[in-house]
C-alpha cells in the first residue's frame, strides 16, 4: 500500500497493520464477521458511526487519525482541533481546561528538574523542555542551538545532524536499534515521519552496519535501556519514561508526549545537580 493513499479504507488498513492485527483478529474484537471487515477495508461497505467508534478504539487510533477516519466516512470528528470547530459548544470551558492542562504540563516539567524532561508532538517536534533538558541538549550539541525560538525544532533532526546528539551516545549499538523499532511503529501511524526515520536508519547503517539493524517486521517490546552520553562533564547515563494525555478532547494535547529522563547512576545525578541550580 502506498503511504500517499489517504482513502478511508486505506486509513483503516494502515491502523490495523500498525497494531499487527489480522482481519480475523479485529473482527473478533469488534463482534462482526471477518467478511464485514474485509468489505469495509475494500470500500464495499461503510460501518455505522457506533461501529466505527468501536473500530478506532480497538485500533488505538491517535486523535488526529481518528478525526481523519471519521471525516472520510462522512461523520463529524470526535475531537476538536480548535475552539471554532468544537462539537461541545462550551468554548469558554474548553479554554479554561486547556489553560489548566498547559499549567499542569509546565509544572510537571519544572518538578522534574534538574533531570531532563521534554515535550514532543506526534511528529517528534520539540514543544517544550525544562532547564535540565535545555542544559543536556546544549551539552550534547557541538554548536549552540536556539531551543526556545519560534521555529519548531525536530528532535529526530537533532539526532541525525552531523554534529547532532547521536555523536555523543556511547552505547549506540544498544539503544539505536531499539529506538529505530519505535520510530518505525510511529511512522506507520504518521507516514510524514518516514523520511526522518529513513535518515536515522541510514545513520545506524553507517555507524553500526546493516547486520545490527532490527528486522522490518520486528514487534518485540522495547526493554528499558540506559542511554550513555560522553560529555565534557563526564559520562552521563539516563533511562527514560513517556507519559501522554489520554483523555483530553483536544488534538493539540492528545498528540503530545512527555519524556522524563532519570539518572541511571549517582555520578549523573551529581553532575546534573551541580550544573542546574
Q: Are 14 and 59 in contact (CB under 8 A)?
A: no
What is the pTM for the complete model shown? 0.66
Could you say which of 1.10.260.40, 3.40.640.10, 1.20.1090.10, 3.40.190.10 is the CATH number of the domain covering 8-72? 1.10.260.40
Q: Domain 91-275 is in which class? A: alpha beta
140 contacts 231 by C-beta, under 8 angstroms: yes
Q: Give the residue extent of every domain in the chain.
A: 8-72, 91-275
pLDDT confidence of residue 253: 55
Q: What are the pLDDT tens digits along the chain (277 aa)?
A: 333 346 899 989 988 988 889 999 999 989 999 999 999 999 999 999 999 999 998 998 887 788 889 989 988 887 655 434 444 344 444 555 566 667 778 888 999 999 999 999 888 998 889 999 999 998 998 777 777 665 678 999 999 988 888 999 999 999 999 999 999 988 888 888 999 999 999 999 999 998 878 776 655 556 678 999 999 999 999 999 988 765 444 445 557 888 999 999 999 999 999 998 7
Q: Cell 498547559 appears where? A: 102
Distance of CA 176 to the CA centre of its chain: 16
Amino acid at each position: 500500500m502506498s503511504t500517499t493513499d489517504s482513502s478511508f479504507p486505506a486509513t483503516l488498513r494502515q491502523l490495523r497493520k500498525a497494531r499487527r492485527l489480522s482481519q480475523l483478529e479485529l473482527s473478533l474484537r469488534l463482534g462482526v464477521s471477518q467478511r464485514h471487515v474485509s468489505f469495509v477495508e475494500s470500500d464495499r461497505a461503510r460501518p455505522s458511526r457506533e461501529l466505527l467508534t468501536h473500530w478506532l478504539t480497538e485500533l488505538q487510533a491517535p486523535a488526529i487519525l481518528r478525526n481523519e477516519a471519521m471525516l472520510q466516512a462522512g461523520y463529524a470528528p470526535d475531537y476538536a482541533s480548535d475552539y471554532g470547530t468544537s462539537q461541545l459548544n462550551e468554548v469558554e470551558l474548553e479554554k479554561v481546561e486547556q489553560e489548566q492542562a498547559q499549567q499542569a504540563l509546565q509544572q510537571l516539567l519544572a518538578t522534574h528538574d534538574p533531570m531532563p524532561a521534554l515535550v514532543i508532538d506526534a511528529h517528534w517536534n520539540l514543544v517544550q523542555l525544562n532547564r535540565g533538558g535545555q542544559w543536556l541538549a546544549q551539552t550534547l550539541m557541538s554548536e549552540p542551538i536556539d531551543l526556545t525560538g519560534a521555529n519548531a525544532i525536530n528532535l529526530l533532526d537533532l539526532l541525525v545532524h552531523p554534529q547532532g546528539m547521536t555523536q555523543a551516545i556511547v552505547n549506540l549499538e544498544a539503544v539505536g536499534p531499539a529506538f529505530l523499532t519505535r520510530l518505525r511503529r510511529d511512522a506507520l501511524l504518521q507516514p510524514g515521519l518516514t523520511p526522518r526515520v529513513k535518515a536515522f536508519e541510514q545513520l545506524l547503517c553507517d555507524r553500526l552496519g546493516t547486520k545490527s539493524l532490527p528486522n522490518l517486521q520486528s514487534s518485540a517490546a522495547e526493554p528499558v535501556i540506559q542511554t550513555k552520553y560522553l560529555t565534557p562533564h563526564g559520562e552521563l547515563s539516563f533511562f527514560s519514561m513517556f507519559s501522554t494525555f489520554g483523555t483530553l478532547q483536544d488534538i493539540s494535547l492528545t498528540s503530545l508526549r512527555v519524556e522524563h529522563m532519570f539518572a541511571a547512576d549517582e555520578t549523573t545525578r551529581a553532575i546534573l545537580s551541580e550544573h542546574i541550580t
